[in-house]
Amino acid sequence: MNANAAALAHIVDDDEAIRDALAWLFETRGVVSRGWPSAETFLADYVDAMHGCVVLDIRMDGMSGLECFDRLLALGCRMPVIFLTGHGDVPLAVATLRKGAYHFIEKPFNDNELVNVVIEALRHDAAARELEAAQATVASRLASLTAREREVMELILAGKLNKVIADQLDIAMRTVEVHRSRIFEKMGVRSAVELSQLLARKN
Amino acid sequence: MNANAAALAHIVDDDEAIRDALAWLFETRGVVSRGWPSAETFLADYVDAMHGCVVLDIRMDGMSGLECFDRLLALGCRMPVIFLTGHGDVPLAVATLRKGAYHFIEKPFNDNELVNVVIEALRHDAAARELEAAQATVASRLASLTAREREVMELILAGKLNKVIADQLDIAMRTVEVHRSRIFEKMGVRSAVELSQLLARKN
DNA sequence: CCCGACATTGTGGAAATCCGCAATCCGCCC
DNA sequence: GGGCGGATTGCGGATTTCCACAATGTCGGG
């Protein structure tokens, strides 16, 4: 099952009737979903490349939604997580939200409101994924630099002249120029200012 | 009363006994505070330069804590706001946190925990203020640029050569150089890369 | 009218950057 | 040993950037 190919709303709830009802509800608004009967099964299949959002019931047999959330966080999951609960209390809601949960919704909920939240979460994930892809490209270019090139790059970004860098590293100015040229080539830029702008977009 | 000079924990609660108890509690941990008997009195004195955090009771005679929060947001208040409530429910907690409240604490609360939250909020505010001050300096330098200089600056930051900028704006290359020099002077930098780095830190 | 800010331009020369071509040395791996 | 990648360097010439000094024209405000 290729859960990576498209953005899905992952419904994690041990109650099959609820999973089906939610799937149906989401479908009426064009949201593709997948149901998981337990936190364990979802986590077993979880991979970083999963796109979309997680609709997570708090109270389940076996692993709870909260434990599942902690696990997802530990795994570096960036999908927005929407908690559903029939038995929440304020400290719990506050704690999960402050831990980074996307939303916390009590049952019974307004159908439309939930779908709106899901759609918004999917959008959020899409935007985050796009930014991540761009940043990964930059990161891989950075990874292609040799240690020396990285050293010279820092000095370039600090605005130092080639001759100053040469003095500082006790090398010839021509060598600085060579490194500089190689750095720009690998990073796909033509000048120090372009490089700076590229890296600013990464962070 | 100069509430701007130092970072204070602003206690907004119509119950004087609670205000005093909190003030005393905060004082035991070295936190300076000021009590306000109502949202209205606090808002009447509110100025942007107030530093610290706001400890806000939700249920008060007159204006509620929630209305007060909305007002603060509308005024662009960046102080962290900690809600205290004896009668909160989950949707309320979720809504305020998603609106940007710093924390939401139910009464009765653990004294130590509340002070920890306040201290953390004060730290948060201090860091945010520092960043803001640095950004304001850059912003005011940017504001000192003429329209033409700003136009040329964008092109410089795009990595374009002086001769390309000259062609694009249909002016002499010497003119581009003059603008360039004036821009760097006003922005307090010596090169395009320094300028780029400075602006990246602003955003 | 006068003044100041802004935009523009020119001259000539210095400084900084860029680069093709070529070469050497070192360390690592097969 | 041979090959490869990385670091280093030199030469000479081209391009780009920088700048002191000077000047002109326009616009807005007193």
Q: Which of A2-16, B60-74, B121-135 has the lowest mean pLDDT?
A: A2-16
Rounded CA gap, A192 and B194, in Å?
10
Question: pLDDT tier at B5 (50, 70, 90 boundaries)?
Answer: low
**Among candidate residues B70, B77, B6, B82, the one with its CA nearest the CA of residue B47:** B77
Average pLDDT on B15-42 reads: 96
Q: What is the mean pLDDT of residues B52-78?
A: 95
**Which residues 6+ apart lie within 8 Å of B201 measured at CB?**
B134, B138
pLDDT at B202: 78
Confidence of residue A87 (pLDDT cuts 50, 70, 90): confident
**Cβ neighbours of B89 in A, within 8 Å:** 90
Query: ipTM of the assembly?
Result: 0.83
pLDDT at B3: 47
**pLDDT for A5 beyond 60:** no
Distance A164 CA to C14 C1' (A): 18
Provide the pLDDT for residue B87: 79
CB < 7 A from strand D, the residues are A 146-149, 169, 171-172, 174-175, 178-179; B 161-163, 173-174, 177-178, 180-181, 191-192
Model confidence at B203: pLDDT above 80? no
* pLDDT of amino acid A3: 47
Distance of B191 CA from D7 C1′ (whole Å): 28
What percent of chain A has a predicted confidence (pLDDT) above 90?
A: 92
Nucleotide nearest to A156 (CA to C1'): C17
Residue B185 reports pLDDT greater than 50: yes
Chain A nearest-CA distance from B53, in A, is 18
Question: How many other CB atoms are there within 10 angstroms of residue A170's CB atom?
Answer: 6
Q: Using an 8 Å Cβ cutoff, are A12 and A56 in contact? A: yes
Q: What spatial distance separates the first Cα and last Cα of chain A, rounded to whole Å?
A: 34
What pLDDT does residue B124 have?
96
Which domains are seen in chain A, by residue range? 7-130 (3.40.50.2300), 144-202 (1.10.10.10)
User: Tokens 């100069």 map to which residue?
Assistant: B2
Residue B4 reports pLDDT greater than 70: no
* Cβ contact A174 with chain C strand, < 7 A: yes
